[in-house]
Each structure stands twice: as C-alpha cells, then as structure tokens.
Copies of this chain bind each other. A is one copy, B any other.
Amino acid sequence: MNNTEENIKVDEAPVNKPEETLLQVQSLIKNDDKSGLAELLEPQSKSQLANLLDSFPPQQKEQVWQDIPENIKGEVLAEVSDQTRSTLMSEMNSDQVSKLTIDLNAQDISEILDKADNDLKNQVIENLDSNKREQIQTIVNYTDKVIGRYMNPQTINVRENTTLETVQRFIRIKGLLTGQPQEIMVVDKDGKLLGILSMVDLIKQNQNALVSEFMTQAVSLVDTLNIHEASTILRSKSLFFAPVVNKENILLGQLNIHDVMEITQHESDTMLMNMQKVNESDELFSSIFSSTKSRGIWLGINLATAFLAAYVIGQFEAVLSQVVALAVLMPIVASMGGIAGSQTLTIIIRGLAMGQIGGNNRLWLFNKELWVGAGNGLIWAFVVAIIAQLWFNDIKISLVISAAVAINMTAANISGITIPLILKKLNIDPALSGAVILTTVTDVVGFVSFLGLATLFLLK
C-alpha cells in the first residue's frame, strides 16, 4: 500500500534532472551532510544511482557508494559502468560481494562477476544456491556478443491445456510476476517452446478458455544469436519480449525490453564513439593512464595516414618552393573533401546498419552521391575561386584551386559510399575504420589534384 505517497509530477523544469541531482550530492558530500545524502539517495532508482556513481571521479565513488541504501546496492553494482564497478569492487572481499549478490538474479550476478578476478568469482558462485549457480554457469558460458549472455533464465511457463483462469491463479499463488510486464511461455512436457501467451490476452480474454486458444506464434531466438541481429529483429518486428531457445527448441530464458533497449543504446553509442575514433572502454572518469593508452592507438593510426599525406605533398616540393600561396591554400582542398566525404559516409553507414542498402539500389545511391558531390563541388569551387582571386589576384592559382576542390569533393562523395560498401563486403565494421580510410583518400586526392595541377600550370 503506497497510495499515500505523492505522485511526482514532472513539469517543464523536472525536479530530478540527473545533473541537478549530481550537484546536490556534490554539495552534501562537501558539507559532510550524511542524513541529507541518505534522504536524497533513498528515492532514486537503480539506474539513477548507477548514473550518479558513474559521475564521480574514482576517489569519490566510494563515498557515494557508502550512502546508497543497502537493499539496492547489488542491483546498482550490476548497472554501473565497467570502470565504476572495478573501482568499487577493488575494495571488496568475496564475503562482501556475496552479501550484495545473494538476492540478485543470475543475469545481474554474471554482470557483476564478469570482470572480477577468478578467485573472487569462484568463491561468490560457491556461496549461491545450486539453482542459481547452474543458471550463472549457463550464462557465463556465452560470450558477450551472443544473446545467451543477456537472457533472463527465469520465465513463467504454462501448459497449453490450462484455462486462463488457472494461469492467473497459478501466478497469484506462486507470486511469480515481478516488476515489468512479460510474456507467458507455453511449453510442452519436455520444455520445448510451443508459443507465447501475452499478458494482455491473459487479462482480456474469456477466462474459461484454454491457453491453446490464445497462444500465439513466437519469434524465438536461438541462444547463440549475435546481439546485433537480435536487436534488429526485435525492433523490426516491434517485439518487446522474445523467448530464447537452444537448437533443439528447448526454452532457456527470455530476452526482454530492458535488454533490447540496453543493446540498442550500446550499439548507437559504440557507432558514435568509433566514428569519432574513441574506444568503447574509454569512459569519462577512466584513469589518465588508461585513456592515454586507449586513445593512443587511434592517434598512432592517424599519424601513419598523416605522414602518408605529407609524403604526397613532399612529391611537389618544386612547385611549393616557387609558389608559396599553394601552401597557404592547400588545407582548404583537403578540408572540404574531408567534410563532404564524411557526410556521405555517415548516411551510408546508417543505411547499412538499418539494412536499407543492397542489390540494385546501390547503383542509385552511387549515382546520387556522385551528383551531390559534383554539385556541391562546383558550387564551392566557384566560391573558393572568387575568394582566392580576391586574395592572391592570380587567375591561374584561382583556377587550379577551384578545379582541385571540385575534383576532391566529387571523389570524396564517391569514396564515402564505396569505402563502407567494400568494408561491409570484407566483413569489417565500416563505422570502425571507414573514417580513417576516407580521410586518407580525401587528403591524398586533395593534395595530388591541387599540387599536381599547380605543377602542370604554375611551375616555371
């Protein structure tokens, strides 16, 4: 009975914006106001608390952690980022971890133990009851790329020759449903999945009818299915629940909307970060050492491509030493190509991720990008020519740079569609390496066309 609590009405300036909670917590910690902190943290959800912990530098995470209500600590620990979890767990022994995990579901426990050291992992698992131990053993046997790792092994299973009324009573007596809505699984005596019964039908339909009458076909996912495929399927079918089965169609668990949203969000994040040359593991409050290292890899790759561009420029020393204006204008050609190419690349990578590119529409898209590149190339070449003419008052230079801009922007758009399509064919993630290859192409084409044309028409 909690109808005495007040509804929270969120107006234009929501009371619980995460950044405002963060500021409040910071000031309570600063004033060492323990009771104020406890009061503020108490009504927060596990995701809010996890997000809050993720918002503190390593040294201060421990302080916030201590004031998180004991009964929710385990769930919060399963929800925080890898880096926060390893910071918090570095201070814990296996007894403390066991205490936190004892009431959690197998999914959360596996998440918490995922990157823990083996001694601690084994001891915590040993302290669990045999049923949960078995579930965890199942989960940790999957890699983190397949859905078996993310499924919830607890499902509500019923037989098809039961009445809806009996199912409702069964759920009530066993106290089964908790938290968010879920589907009810219909299985045969061997545990094979026959179909699903939706909660909506369970409530809505004639209660004396049999489950078999309202059981619907299920889109079931095999446990070894890749998470990306699974999230594409669930989204495209507008499904929010899916049973997970093994190859023999034995029901193993369910993937629910929480998991799907998490996977989807994770995918979008990864794509964004990869396109900006950031590793997934590089978090806001990662240590200086680990951030330096993880970003260093991309910087090294970039340096190699930058030296390749420099090498190309080096081939034109003769004309560069005669006409200094070329060195001044040179970056403009590369930059315009870089932006045009990255615009095309982004749109193509997004289309590939949504499965919208294939077969004969590739030619249409190639054609479109070619003309968009040539169109914008001509427009901006004209603008560049006018500015260059006003600046250097040398018609040859103006013509050379304007031709180079038009060539490079057209080439950039062609590369922006060709590179990701080729990478996809080679089974390489275009979001990961597409941008690096593209920049190399636009730099090289830009410098070669600009300095090459200059050598032809300007070199005395």
Q: How far is the CA of A101 from the CA of B67 in the complex (A)?
A: 54
Q: How far is the CA of A360 from the CA of B277 in the complex (A)?
A: 28
Output the least CB separation between A135 and chain B (Å): 22
Output the least CB separation between A154 and chain B (Å): 14
Output the least CB separation between A381 and chain B (Å): 11
Given the known A-B contacts A203-B168, A380-B303, are A222 and B347 also in contact in the complex, defined by CB atoms under 8 Å? no
Interface string of A242-265 (1 = CB under 8 A from B): 000101010000000110010011
Given the known A-B contacts A8-B220, A204-B177, are A334 and B331 also in contact in the complex, defined by CB atoms under 8 Å? yes
* Cross-interface CB contact of A18 among B3, B5, B355, B443, cutoff 8 Å: B355
Q: How far is the CA of A358 from the CA of B229 in the complex (A)?
A: 37
Given the known A-B contacts A204-B175, A310-B329, A346-B276, are A233 and B10 also in contact in the complex, defined by CB atoms under 8 Å? yes
* Cross-interface CB contact of A7 among B56, B218, B342, cutoff 8 Å: B218
Chain B residue numbers with a CB within 8 Å of A202 are 203
Interface string of A362-395 (1 = CB under 8 A from B): 0011001001100110011001100100010000
Chain B residue numbers with a CB within 8 Å of A351 are 55, 284
Interface string of A31-55 (1 = CB under 8 A from B): 0000000000000011110010011
- In contact, B328 and A313 (Cβ under 8 angstroms): yes
- In contact, B22 and A358 (Cβ under 8 angstroms): yes
Given the known A-B contacts A57-B364, A310-B329, A368-B288, are A359 and B172 also in contact in the complex, defined by CB atoms under 8 Å? no
- In contact, A284 and B2 (Cβ under 8 angstroms): no
Is chain A's binding surface mostly helix, strand, loop or mixed? helix
Is A93 at the interface (CB under 8 A from chain B)?
no
Report the nearest B residue to A258, measured CB to CB: B238
Segment of A111-119, A120-128, A136-144, A294-302 in the binding face? A294-302
Is A271 at the interface (CB under 8 A from chain B)?
yes
Output the least CB separation between A276 and chain B (Å): 4
Q: How far is the CA of A317 from the CA of B48 in the complex (A)?
A: 56
Is A330 at the interface (CB under 8 A from chain B)?
yes
* Cross-interface CB contact of A220 among B9, B171, B179, B314, cutoff 8 Å: B9
Chain B residue numbers with a CB within 8 Å of A6 are 217
Q: Which A265-320 residues have a C-beta within 8 angstroms of B?
A: 265, 268-269, 271-273, 275-278, 282-285, 288, 291-292, 295-296, 298-300, 302-303, 305-307, 309-310, 313-314, 317, 320
Give the 4 A-B residue pairs with the shortest CB-CB distance, closest first. A18-B355, A327-B327, A268-B268, A181-B181
